[in-house]
A and B are shown apart, each in its own frame.
Chain A
Amino acid sequence: MTAAILCQNLAKDFRHMHKEPGLSGSIKSFFVRNYERKPAVRDFELVIEPGEIVGLLGPNGAGKTTLMKMFTGIIVPSSGRLEVLGHVPHQREMAFRRKIALVMGQKSQLWWDIPAMDSFLLLQKYYEIPDTDFKRRLGTLTDLLDVDRLLKVHVRKLSLGERMKMELMASLLHQPEVVFLDEPTIGLDLVAQKNIRDFILAWQRDHRTTVILTSHYMADVDALCKRIVLVLAGGKRFDGPIREFESVLGKQKFVSVDFEGPVDRQLALWQGLDASWNEDSTHVELRIPEDQLRSTAAAILQQLPVTSLSMEKLPIERVMNELLVKPQLLADPQL
Chain B
Amino acid sequence: MKTLKRYGAIYREFVNNCFAAALTYRLHFILLIVMDLIFYFTILGSVEFLFQHLDKIGPWGRTEFMFFMSFMIAVEHLHMTFISENFWEFSYDIRTGRLDFILLKPVGALFIIFFRSMRPGTLLNGFFPWAYLIYFGSQLHLNALQWLALPLLVLLGLALLTSVEILISMSMFWIVESMGVNFFRMQLQQVARWPDFVYQYFAQKFFSYLVPVLLVGSAPVSFLITGDWTGLSKMLGLLVICWGLIGFFWRKGLASYESASS
Shortest distance in angstroms between B247's beta carbon and chain A's nearest beta carbon?
Answer: 14
CA distance A118 to B17 in the complex (A): 7
Shortest distance in angstroms between A218's beta carbon and chain B's nearest beta carbon?
Answer: 19
Question: What residues of chain B lie closer than 8 Å to A105, measured between beta carbons?
Answer: 262
Question: What residues of chain A lie closer than 8 Å to B12, measured between beta carbons?
Answer: 125
Which of A73, A74, A102, A127 has most chain B Cβ within 10 Å?
Answer: A74
Contact A74 B257 (CB under 8 A): yes
Contact B258 A107 (CB under 8 A): no
Answer whether residue A104 sits at the interface, using C-beta atoms and an 8 A cutoff: yes
Contact B258 A75 (CB under 8 A): yes
Contact B17 A122 (CB under 8 A): yes
Answer whether residue A14 sits at the interface, using C-beta atoms and an 8 A cutoff: yes
CA distance A169 to B63 in the complex (A): 57
Contact A113 B103 (CB under 8 A): no
A-B contact count (CB 8 A): 82
Question: What residues of chain A lie closer than 8 Å to B124, measured between beta carbons?
Answer: none
Q: In the complex, which residues 8-61 of chain B have their Cβ closer than 8 Å to any Cβ of chain A?
A: 9-10, 12-14, 16-17, 20-21, 24-25
Partner of B9, one of A76, A92, A125: A125
Contact B107 A109 (CB under 8 A): no
CA distance A119 to B14 in the complex (A): 9
- Interface majority SS on A: helix, strand, loop or mixed? mixed
CA distance A114 to B21 in the complex (A): 5
Partner of B20, one of A65, A76, A118, A128: A118
Contact B261 A126 (CB under 8 A): no
Which of B12, B14, B105 has most chain A Cβ within 10 Å?
Answer: B105
Shortest distance in angstroms between B226's beta carbon and chain A's nearest beta carbon?
Answer: 45
CA distance A90 to B255 in the complex (A): 8
Answer whether residue A183 sits at the interface, using C-beta atoms and an 8 A cutoff: yes
CA distance A101 to B108 in the complex (A): 17
Contact B259 A74 (CB under 8 A): yes
Answer whether residue B101 sits at the interface, using C-beta atoms and an 8 A cutoff: yes
Answer whether residue B104 sits at the interface, using C-beta atoms and an 8 A cutoff: yes
Contact B20 A69 (CB under 8 A): no
Answer whether residue B180 sits at the interface, using C-beta atoms and an 8 A cutoff: no
Shortest distance in angstroms between B21's beta carbon and chain A's nearest beta carbon?
Answer: 4
Nearest neighbor of A128 in chain B, beta-carbon distance = B6
Nearest neighbor of B255 in chain A, beta-carbon distance = A76
Contact B97 A125 (CB under 8 A): no
Shortest distance in angstroms between B202's beta carbon and chain A's nearest beta carbon?
Answer: 29
Answer whether residue A72 sits at the interface, using C-beta atoms and an 8 A cutoff: yes
Answer whether residue A255 sits at the interface, using C-beta atoms and an 8 A cutoff: no
Contact A126 B21 (CB under 8 A): no
CA distance A18 to B258 in the complex (A): 17
Partner of A125, one of B13, B24, B96, B257: B13
Partner of A69, one of B10, B13, B105, B259: B259
CA distance A75 to B253 in the complex (A): 11
Contact B255 A65 (CB under 8 A): no
Question: What residues of chain A lie closer than 8 Å to B25, measured between beta carbons?
Answer: 113
1/0 per residue, CB under 8 A from B, across A99-130: the answer is 01110111101010111001101100111100
Which of A115, A122, A154 has most chain B Cβ within 10 Å?
Answer: A122
Shortest distance in angstroms between B115's beta carbon and chain A's nearest beta carbon?
Answer: 13
